[in-house]
Structure 1
């Protein structure tokens, strides 16, 4: 079919055609004739309205979101890509409505701890400025230290300048949601401190006394700073979640020296010699902190996967993809777990880091502050 448009990029139209053909082949929702007709519709729209993007049907959008998860090279949890639930919110135009829709997403996905993988897709007229829907603030103190999460210190500065009044300046204070409609000023919306919306999990150890640490984490990881990209389109406001892998919290969020940096405190509770590296105090403390995270989520009844199980599930995903004659691509540095990497079967695999579409693509933070460290993980794990 000949595609002709002076203002809409030819490459985008070719991508839309490729997407429709792939969608039709994989889902059987469209016959070859119907797929050809759909492609003609999109091309005709481009002729009449060359500055407008084509409008996917809800079923097309759902399949794109699922396939984007399947193609996410940094995600170890792709075995469950077909389970994704979609809230199509493209009809919402106001920030108040968007806020209520995001709360519905959080309630549905949290599900009392029985986490459901969920995505909400809005029009590009609306934007969520938070990098994650649920995160803890990082407050800068006069002595240069940070109370809370240093990775979110820049965003915390931003929301404070917007007028946020935190309940208190503790280490685990939920940040507000910041929503913006195109052409308007950003709006602050307080995240309800309710378990149905933002469930907290206190961190305890099955044998050691972790109570002096006062640790906790939130049950639901919802990324909101990645675009859903497919068919020549990019949806900038498409927050999505899966459930946590334990090491993301125990080996990164609570352990990284640039994050909560809790390993020295864990080591002291364990009575370890922290004066020399050869005592391997960091390694021993890291294992116990990760054990505590898994134990705590189990005690709270919140869904979580350990890194050994996740590695085996990735191999299952790879085998299923091979049966469909699809190559499994991956980013080795992100897929190998940050604890006991060499005992994961993924450590010994070669991977091709080829980016395919549909996919979830990172974008620069939309708020005007210096960009902080990127979080490790994957769309459905961080």
Structure 2
């Protein structure tokens, strides 16, 4: 299997120097950057890559969060807990470390922003790869004749791939946990069940604050959104397996995962439960159902003591982040279409302004191979 580098060899030296200078500039205790730059240049000349120091890895991962144009929750970027697992290359040990990541991040519901960094790509071999979009995802069983997709339609490709790899499947509910599909260095993909332990996979039953029998729907969602199919790129070095998480903003679940027509598509069912007139969109039944679904998500996480932000609070925090970075003399890039919440956007302060969309490094970048694998094409 050929290695897929995020940057060309020619660009790596430039990217490495830019990052080392940035690291020393923002961490003056590191001293004069010139000796470190000389060492990196020598290592690049000999091996075609270089190894980050512990402090470089931590700072690089945190700055990648700071640079994440699509993330509204960057105010606490410098609090990211970095787990250095670069010595792990095998699928079984990576899967176990991913479970440990979830255990540390879940923290009994007091979610801690965490990243676990596995072995990088090198000229000799690619780093490991996690096929899952997130460490915790629900299966989407393909539609059969006369039957709709069961579960999350977003995950039909990965579900089919896992089944082809030998996963027996779950009980066939709308919320069957997918296994991790991990490809170690110089290895074939393998599947691993996550431990059935709430310390690892904490799930929140979704109920409405006014009751109304929502509990009989069996709705739930997992507590930790741990992105696992993006590559962490620091100074020209790519870490293709580097799962990271913050905490959920309520609209990610209530206005997207459970509400989108190509996901769980619950708005019609919520409207029926509320007795709304769905004959015409001018009744704003979708808007009213969306609000109640999001109320249910926030209420449920609060009831279970699981950390979650609402979109109004997170928008104010992002404005505080902008001001904090301005005082540091740093420009904040952002993608307006992602920063503005998918519900009541105009009621939040992030709506009424424009943003520089420059992409900066270090960064979390989408790894094309991971996307193809998540769709189950091809299975290699």
Give the TM-score normalised by the residue count of structure 1: 0.92
2:12, 2:237 within 8 Å by CA — same for their partners in 1?
yes
Aligned equivalents of 2:284, 2:327: Cα separation in 1: 43
Of 25, 46, 49, which residue of structure 2 is paired with 1:48? 46
Measured in 1, the distance between the counterparts of 2:307 and 2:372 equals 35
**Deviation for aligned residue 1:239:** 0.5
How does 1:192-271 map onto structure 2 within 5 Å? 192-209=195-212, 210-271=214-275
Q: Which residue of 2 aligns with 1:377?
A: none
2: CA distance between counterparts of 1:44 and 1:216?
53
Residue 189 (structure 1) aligns with: 192
In structure 1, what is the equivalent of residue 95 of structure 2?
A: 99
Relative to structure 1, the CA distance from residue 325 to residue 368 in structure 2 (aligned partners, 3 Å threshold; closer, same or farther) is: closer
Q: Specify which of 154, 167, 170 is matched with residue 167 of structure 1.
A: 170
Contact preservation (8 Å) 1:128, 1:178: yes
Quote the Cα distance in structure 2 between the aligned partners of 1:121 and 1:79.
22
Q: Distance in 1 between matches of 2:216 and 2:356?
A: 45
- Give per-residue Cα distances to partners, 1:175-233, cap 9 Å, x unaligned: 00111123322111111221010001000011142123221000000001111112111
CA distance in 1, matches of 2:230, 2:300: 29
Deviation per CA, 1:236-260, whole angstroms, max 9, x where unpaired?
Answer: 0100000000000000000000000
Q: Is the 8 A contact 1:177 1:191 kept in 2?
A: yes
Distance in 2 of aligned mates of 1:229 and 1:173: 32
List aligned pairs for 1:112-131, cutoff 5 A: 112-124=108-120, 125-131=127-133
Residue 302 (structure 1) aligned to one of 295, 302, 306? 306
Q: 1:141 to 1:356 in 2, by over 3 A?
A: same
In the aligned structure 2, how far is the partner of 1:84 from the partner of 1:367?
Answer: 25
The two structures, once aligned, show a CA RMSD in angstroms of 1.5
Report the counterpart of residue 150 of structure 1 in structure 2. Answer: 153
Give SS of 1:348's match.
coil
Would you say the 8 A contact 1:213–1:265 is kept in 2?
A: no
CA contact (8 A) 1:365 1:371 kept: no
Give distance in 2, aligned partners of 1:332 and 1:366: 25
Does structure 2 conserve the Cα–Cα contact (< 8 Å) formed by 1:72 and 1:359?
yes
1:335 deviates by 0.4
1:120-154 deviations in Å (ceiling 9; x for gaps): 00014322111110000001132351100000011
Deviations 1:328-366 (A, max 9, x none): 110000000011011111111111111001111112253
How many angstroms apart in 2 are the aligned matches of 1:45 and 1:294? 50
| Alpha-carbon distance in structure 2 between the residues aligned to 1:308 and 1:266 | 23
How far off is 1:29 after superposition? Answer: 3.2
Q: Kindly tell me: are residues 327 and 237 of structure 1, through their superposed partners in 2, closer, same or farther at Cα, counting changes over 3 Å?
A: same
Structure 1 gap ranges (5+): 1-7, 373-382
SS at match of 2:370: coil
Distance 1:370 1:89, change over 3 A: closer
Question: 1:90 maps to which residue?
Answer: 86
Contact map agreement 1:155 1:367 (CA 8 A) in 2: no
* CA displacement at 1:161 relative to structure 2: 0.8
Q: Does the Cα contact within 8 Å between 2:203 and 2:221 map onto a contact in 1?
A: yes
Matched, 1:280 2:284: yes
What TM-score, normalized to structure 2?
A: 0.92
C-alpha contact 2:69 2:333 (8 A) present in aligned 1:
yes
Unaligned runs of 5+ in 2: 1-7, 121-126
Runs of 4+ aligned structure 1 residues displaced above 4 Å come to 367-372
Q: Does the Cα contact within 8 Å between 1:116 and 1:242 map onto a contact in 2? A: yes
Cα contact 1:158–1:367 (8 A) shared by 2: no
